Structure 1
Amino acid sequence: MKTLPLLERFDWSEFERVVILSPHLDDAALSCGGLLHALRDRVSTLVVSVSCATPRVLTSKGNSKISHRRGYVSSQTRRREDIAAMHSVDTDFVHLGFADGIYRRSPLTGKLIYLSARERWISPRIEDLAHSEELYLVLRRLCLNLGKILLLSPLGIGHHVDHQICAQVAVRLAAAGAILLFYEDFPYVADTRIGRGDQDSPLQALARLQRSPAGHYAVPVDVEEKLAVLRHYPSQIPALFGDDVGMRARILGHQHNNVPSEFYWRAKALETTPSKEK
């Protein structure tokens, strides 16, 4: 499929705004930082970050206390980082009060749904259906009453459960009237060691959503501008890139026509072959 320039795909003045769904407090910048820069003088943008809550649990005495899991940065720190990043690209943003997948609990048992860090990289569990439904209802109210919008969603490359849930909800929002594009989850698409660790791809992610490609688009990235945005997330750089040198190399290595780029997909429902009567 031919890759086309996304910035020439739309008359951006027709949109009330472009809404980017960000499963966590860095995903929009990681995957769409170049696009956010490019749209600054074209159309209003809104980044909706989903997993921003400070996780709390009830003690045996009925009190509430903050829950911590080893290796994870506090949500307060991450919100501060994201606020600085969003201000740097002049975009509106909303921090929703949903818990990260590692902190979500079954509404029936109160137990953690995903017990270990490794379990972040699986299909969403049935105990998470209530979260998916609540997220859909919140995003439907937030996104579909804004006039004509372009909705950008992660594809779910890398199998992160929070990314997959966002993608599934975005498909439902498209059925309710949103114009939908998927973005490739960066850096998972550029480094298969991050995430579940297998050879996941955009086409595989589309297939999991029962979708097939209908268009492929690229946005050229100014490397220095994108690095400037991502440096607002110092708590995340070591786990994702190692250091600033590794981050630069990963951005430079993801190219279209020898130009560092971000990639986006338009999709359609898979065609089903009618069964033959015996």
Structure 2
Amino acid sequence: MNGTMPETVREALTAGDPIVFVSPHLDDAVLSCGALLKVLADACPVVVATVFTAADEPPHTYAARGFLRECAAGDASALFDARRQEDLEVLAEIGVGALHLGFPDALFRRRRMSGAVGAVAGRMLPELAHRYPTYRYDIARGRVARGDRPMIAAVGAAVAAAVADTGARLVFCPLGTGRHVDHLIARGTGAQFGRRTVYFSDFPYDQSAAADSIFLSRHGLEPWRWNQSIADKERLIHGYRTQVAGLFPDLVVPRSPETYWVAGRRRP
């Protein structure tokens, strides 16, 4: 199916049906799908529902402080205010609606610390008070914390509500390439929509990480690629001013085709 828009997507585009994109963070939908997003939005009502759009108060972990430094930000709340505004502006430019679901980013998700001693320990060593103490060994390893389970259920319900409210025919979700826990949680929201779900490759993680072959095989997913207007996407990505230098230190965005997966044809 490489190079050919699948029938389900082509039919939605032709009919002008509503479409929802589930974005883990405040840039992922445009990073991974910006070229196709623009084409779909010219013909269909499109909404990007971004899941993890908030931070928490300090003290922060070493990993979170590093992220703030990378973004040249001194305050996490102010940074996420700026990121939400960037997202609204970029999506509005291409006629896409934005829905920010308000769940905290993995870098800032706290665990419950019991008692006064626990609270003091969490202030002295913030890693003790966070579900994901490090980026490399926790967030990027794809091990979703058990303590996130109630939040995961709430995320699924929020995405389902967004799909119901918009009447979306198709739901685009990340494949979770790169194993970032927030991307895997966002991927999990797609199961409830069955064959209406289209999965997208997580850019730029997919520049160095392979797709999850076990997940693809289990769900019978077939790839297709979109390479039109890829150059135009670079301008949209640069609209995420707080993020672009951290993602692309030389400010050059690789012009890679966008990759998507849909369920293959049912066997008779």
TM-score, shorter chain, exceeding 0.5: yes
Residues 121, 159 of structure 1: 8 Å contact kept? yes
Deviation at 1:182, TM superposition (A): 0.0
Match of 1:135 among 147, 155, 164: 155
In structure 1, what is the equivalent of residue 51 of structure 2? 50
2:135 alignment partner, one of 117, 125, 132:
117
SS of equivalent residue, structure 1 residue 151: strand
Q: What displacement does 1:169 show?
A: 1.8
Closer/same/farther in 2, CA of residues 107 and 142 from structure 1, 3 Å limit: farther
1 or 2, which has the higher strand percentage? 1
Deviations 1:194-225 (A, max 9, x none): xxxxx432425535xx4232x32222232431
User: Which structure 2 residues correspond to residues 17-166 of structure 1 after superposition, within 5 A?
Assistant: 17-56=18-57, 69-72=65-68, 73=71, 74-106=79-111, 111-118=129-136, 119-122=138-141, 123-166=143-186
- Which secondary structure does the structure 2 equivalent of 1:96 belong to? strand
Stretches of structure 2 that go unaligned for 5 or more consecutive residues are 72-78, 120-128
Shift of 1:16: 3.5
Aligned to 2:219: 211
SS in 2 for 1:156: coil
> SS of the residue aligned with 2:199?
strand
Tell me the equivalent position of 2:204. 187
SS of the equivalent of 1:238 reads helix
Q: Contact 1:106–1:128 at 8 Å: present in 2 too? A: no
Return the offset for 1:13: 4.2
Counting matched residue pairs gives: 235
**AA of the residue aligned to 2:193:** A
Q: Show structure 1 runs of 5+ residues with no match.
A: 59-67, 193-198, 255-260, 269-278
CA contact (8 A) 2:155 2:189 kept: yes
Residue 102 of structure 2 aligns to a residue in which SS?
coil
Shift of 1:26: 0.3
Percent identical pairs in the alignment equals 26
TM-score, L = length of structure 2: 0.79
Q: C-alpha deviations, 1:164-219, integer Å up to 9, x for none? A: 00111211x214xx7100000001112x1xxxxxx432425535xx4232x32222
Superposed, 1:252-263 pairs within 5 Å as 254=256, 261-263=257-259
Q: State the structure with bigger RCO (CA 8 A, min sep 6), 1 or 2.
A: 2
TM-score (norm 1): 0.76
Measured at CA, do residues 7 and 85 of structure 1 come closer, stay the same or move farther in structure 2, by a change above 3 Å? farther
In 2, are the aligned partners of 1:107 and 1:127 still within 8 Å (CA)?
Answer: no
Equivalent-residue separation in structure 2 for 1:237 and 1:157 (angstroms) = 19
State the 1:228 CA deviation.
Answer: 1.1
Q: What's 2:261 paired with? A: 265
Q: How far did residue 96 of structure 1 move?
A: 1.4
**CA-to-partner distance for each residue in 1:211-264, whole Å, 9 max, x for gaps?**
232x3222223243111101101221222221223x1xx12xx2xxxxxx2111
